[in-house]
Amino acid sequence: MPERMIAPGICYLGAHRVTRVAMSDDFFTPPPFDAATARATLARALRDLKLAERNGAFELNGQPVVRASVDGAVLKLEVAKRLARSPDWEYAQAHDHAQLRRFIDDVKKRVARWQDGRSED
């Protein structure tokens, strides 16, 4: 990418002049991952699935389904293998937004399966 881009400018006399504007080389770099805002995004997505948050866990019909905690720059995630009062947990971590989206998609599939009454893995 060029170091400087040319942008037209108008002086107060009405004549056009050319100004140079410095552009960053990392224009397409995604914003840095912030675990706290990622947890807020996760909470919003899980509330959209009608999961209630209680004591740090998100529950479906009073049974814990997802737990999430912030550990530095990483979002530590746990999802229930099966719907139960004391479930076995599968562990995951999100270091970027793509991993968080994949986790949310997986939870959506599981919740849909549990609401349909299917229990297969």
Tokens in use for 116?
Answer: 């349909």
Report whether pLDDT(10) > 50. Answer: no
Distance CA 63, CA 14 (A): 69
Band (pLDDT 50/70/90 cuts) for residue 25 is low
Tokens in use for 78?
Answer: 């746990």
Model pLDDT for residues 56-108, shown as the tens digit of each residue: 899 998 899 999 999 988 999 999 998 888 889 999 999 999 999 999 999 99
Domain borders along the chain are 35-116
Q: Structure pTM?
A: 0.71
Q: Which residue has the higher pLDDT, 6 or 24?
A: 24
Rounded to the nearest integer, the mean pLDDT of the chain is 82
What's the pLDDT at 15? Answer: 56
Angle at 65 between CA 73 and CA 40, to 5 degrees: 35
Report whether pLDDT(53) > 60. Answer: yes
Q: CATH number of the domain at 35-116, please?
A: 3.30.160
What's the pLDDT at 18? Answer: 56
Distance CA 32, CA 16 (A): 39
Average pLDDT over residues 27-43: 86
